[in-house]
Amino acid sequence: MSLLSRKALFQTVSCMKQFKRFRGKINIQKPKPPHFERATFLALAKPYYINPNKGKLKVELCEGVDATKSKDVDNPFQRIIAQELYRWFTSSRLVVFYHLNPMSSEDQFKAYALFKKQKMHFKQYGKKTLEVAVKGTPYEVVLDFYVSQNMTVFSPEPDIKKMLNITKKFPQLILLAGIYEGRFVSKDELTGYSLIPNLQAAQAGFVQTLNSIGGQLVTQLNSHQTTLVAHLEERTRQLEEKH
């Protein structure tokens, strides 16, 4: 019994410990900034690695592709499209340039159909193709408009009023400028030209003016004779009444 009591007296009792952080959980998303001295040492000890691919083009990062050769590749299909594009420029009396904001394919088809009904062609070309088409020609200045996504309308007849009416239906199309009868014009000039009546209306107005002037001239020439005849008839009537 003495051994059992001695063992019970000298037995160590282990306590259960549970660690808990003061003031709640650690904020991982917005941690508290470190002390100034610690932040200084962390900034000095931060490793710095130089990116070996910095400043390289995407084509240069591809393995097995020579970037110098890819720039000078001749594309026959692109030259055919460029020749067709140049024919559109030379054969169109009205060429309009648009900046294209994000636009669904359904709206693009609607715009294409509306322009097609008015015998206008709604086209989209890349800047590289346009550069091949107009480089060294009088149309080279249009390259300044092709910065991002662009659309071009070619019309054999310069019906600016119909073009502007279709443009108002699509706010995604931002009118930049145009070529009217071989002359570069701004957006405001296109709006001014749209207020001028077409050739048939101008000719009809001119003929009406000529007819009115001719009628006024005949009336003025005959006015004195008509007045004299009226006076003579009145005098004859007075004499007949006396007799």
Q: What is the mean pLDDT of the chain?
A: 81
Helical (H) or strand (E) element with 75: none
pLDDT over 80 at 8, yes or no: no
Residue in 200, 199, 180, 181 with CA at minimum distance from that of residue 191: 180
**pLDDT number for residue 62:** 79
Whether pTM exceeds 0.75: no
How confident is the model at residue 23, as a pLDDT?
64
Report the alpha-carbon distance of residue 108 to residue 99 in Å, rounded.
Answer: 13
Sorted by where each starts, the structural domains of the chain and their CATH numbers stand as: 77-194 (3.30.70.1730)
Question: What is the average pLDDT across 37-51?
Answer: 87
Closest alpha carbon to 92 in 164, 186, 159, 168 = 159
pLDDT in tens, 138-197: 888 888 888 888 899 999 888 888 899 999 999 999 999 999 888 888 888 888 887 776
What is the average per-residue pLDDT within 71-98? 86
SS3 content of the chain, % helix, strand, coil (to 5): 55, 10, 35
